[in-house]
């Protein structure tokens, strides 16, 4: 009898739970701290959270949330969802403390949710394939096959635009990611999609035929999303974000993940992708051996070599530097290289030289990944000029140990009012900035292509 009563009560409980329409409230800040865990709903994407080549989680949102959780004294528990629609569904159900997936702050969303202080600006862009269609305005989108992510800010904006462009039509999907939609455009499976500018910047390196013919929106802001009522969590996030920004750490993070995506050169990237297949395999083992010997990522060495010579072992510059790593005679002699045109010797010599530069900067306060960017700049322009840039950075109240500051100072070395008071004098300071930027871009593409 007692067993039947217990079963009946349990059945009633399940029925009540299933019919419960009471809104779920997010956990308070104190409850999060007491639990020792911050539950974050997110997506797997290069601009959010992803697993790197070593099998470790990384990404701009990951690093920020990890730092915020450490500030709270708790662990961060990422719940990776398949779509933005699933993220909103789980937030509504109280299954996460906040959502972090480069979520655009829109007026419509603010009616229902709380947003943190914004930490990034993006622009919604129409994305098509250059040899397919090239619309120049919203009017030109009529009649095209357009697909966007369901429940996204793209969908919201298109819905708003339809009020003034009634013939505008599009499809929505929860089964594909924005990156997959970009690939569908590249494969000509659909005409166009809409994506945030930071996502477009990254993925054009893998699909160089993609173009963004016009912006669909003005600049918009991105933030972390919470349920209404989680005011204490929002206030804590905002306070922490302000400190994070004031310390320069936010700028460092943006530089780390986006700093090398400046101008896009279609011809160069297309050629690079082809040479990864045709030239890179001939020299890959040399880069791997050199990287292991000198504790440098072999993809970094390969990217540097491409920037130097386009992987041409017989390359020669007007100034006399030669070989796949473009070594001067003096550097080659110092590194024990007998034949600069021998690709194996050149790669080992270049790796040894870069490692030696890194050792000299390592005694300073420069930390990775900035240490690598400083060293590459010194490989290009000379260590003395980089030291001058650090001196100039101090004089201007900037941080001499951050690449994000040094790259803004280096171009000043070509201006007389600055270089006349510096130890090493004039230098074409724009060159090392471009040099580092291109190597970072090549490395990023190479790592994606050879996975």
Q: Is 289 exposed, middle or buried (0-12, 13-18, 19+ CB in 10 A)?
A: middle
Determine contact, residues 273/449, Cβ cutoff 8 Å: yes
- Cα distances (Å, whole numbers) of residue 72 to 6, 34, 61, 235: 42, 10, 16, 13
Q: What is the spatial distance between Cα 381 and Cα 328, in angstroms, rounded to a whole number?
A: 12
Backbone angles phi, psi at 208, to 5 degrees: -65, -15
Beta strands in 145-278 (DSSP E): 147-149, 171-173, 192-196, 210-215, 220-227
CB 115 within 8 A of CB 109: yes
CA atoms of 447 and 51, how far apart (whole Å): 13
Strands 113-115 and 220-227: antiparallel
What is the pairing mode between strands 75-81 and 37-43? parallel
State whether residue 380 is helix, strand or coil: helix
Annotated catalytic residue, options 61, 236, 255, 308: 308
Q: Can you state the angle between helices 60-72 and 231-246, rounded to 10 degrees?
A: 110
- How far apart CA 13 and CA 304 sit, in angstroms, is 64
User: Is the peptide bond preceding residue 369 cis, with omega within 30 degrees of 0?
Assistant: yes
Provide the 8-state DSSP code for 137: S
Q: Is 417 marked active-site?
A: no
Query: Do 252 and 404 form a contact (C-beta atoms < 8 A)?
Result: yes
Question: How far, in whole angstroms, is CA 219 from its chain's centroid?
Answer: 18
Q: Which residues are catalytic?
A: 308
């Amino acid at each position: 009898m007692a067993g039947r009563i217990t079963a009946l009560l349990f059945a009633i409980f399940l029925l009540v739970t299933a019919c419960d329409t009471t809104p779920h409230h997010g956990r308070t800040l104190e409850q999060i701290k007491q639990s020792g865990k911050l539950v974050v709903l997110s997506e797997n994407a290069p601009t959010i959270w992803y697993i790197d080549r070593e099998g470790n989680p990384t990404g701009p949102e990951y690093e920020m949330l990890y730092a915020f959780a450490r500030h709270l004294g708790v662990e961060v528990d990422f719940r990776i969802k398949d779509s933005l629609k699933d993220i909103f569904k789980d937030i509504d159900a109280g299954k996460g403390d906040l959502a972090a997936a480069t979520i655009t702050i829109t007026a419509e969303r603010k009616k229902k949710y709380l947003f943190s202080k914004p930490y990034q600006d993006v622009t919604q862009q129409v994305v098509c394939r250059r040899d397919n269609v090239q619309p120049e305005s919203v009017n030109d989108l009529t009649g095209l096959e357009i697909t966007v992510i369901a429940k996204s800010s793209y969908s919201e904006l298109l819905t708003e635009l339809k009020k003034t462009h009634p013939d505008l039509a599009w499809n929505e999907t929860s089964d594909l990611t924005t990156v997959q939609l970009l690939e569908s455009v590249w494969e000509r499976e659909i005409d166009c999609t809409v994506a945030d500018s930071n996502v477009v910047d990254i993925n054009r390196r893998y699909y160089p035929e993609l173009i963004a013919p016009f912006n669909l929106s003005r600049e918009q802001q991105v933030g972390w999303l919470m349920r209404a009522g989680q005011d204490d969590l929002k206030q804590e996030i905002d306070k922490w974000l302000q400190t994070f920004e004031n310390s320069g750490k936010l700028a460092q993070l943006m530089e780390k993940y986006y700093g090398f995506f400046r101008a896009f050169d279609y011809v160069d990237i297309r050629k690079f992708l082809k040479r990864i297949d045709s030239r890179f395999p001939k020299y890959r083992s040399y880069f791997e051996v050199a990287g292991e010997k000198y504790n440098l990522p072999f993809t970094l060495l390969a990217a540097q070599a491409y920037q130097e010579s386009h992987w041409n072992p017989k390359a020669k510059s007007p100034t006399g530097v030669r070989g796949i790593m473009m070594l001067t005679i003096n550097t080659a002699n110092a590194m024990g290289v007998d034949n600069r045109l021998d690709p194996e010797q050149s790669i080992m010599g270049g790796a040894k030289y870069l490692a030696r530069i890194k050792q000299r900067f390592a005694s300073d306060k420069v930390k990775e990944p900035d240490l690598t960017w400083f060293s590459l700049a010194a490989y290009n322009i000379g260590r003395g000029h980089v030291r001058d840039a650090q001196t100039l950075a101090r004089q201007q109240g900037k941080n001499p140990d951050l690449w994000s500051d040094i790259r803004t100072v280096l171009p000043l070395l070509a201006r007389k009012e600055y270089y006349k008071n510096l130890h090493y004098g004039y230098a074409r300071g724009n060159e090392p900035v471009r040099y580092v930027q291109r190597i970072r871009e090549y490395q990023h593409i190479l790592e994606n292509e050879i996975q």
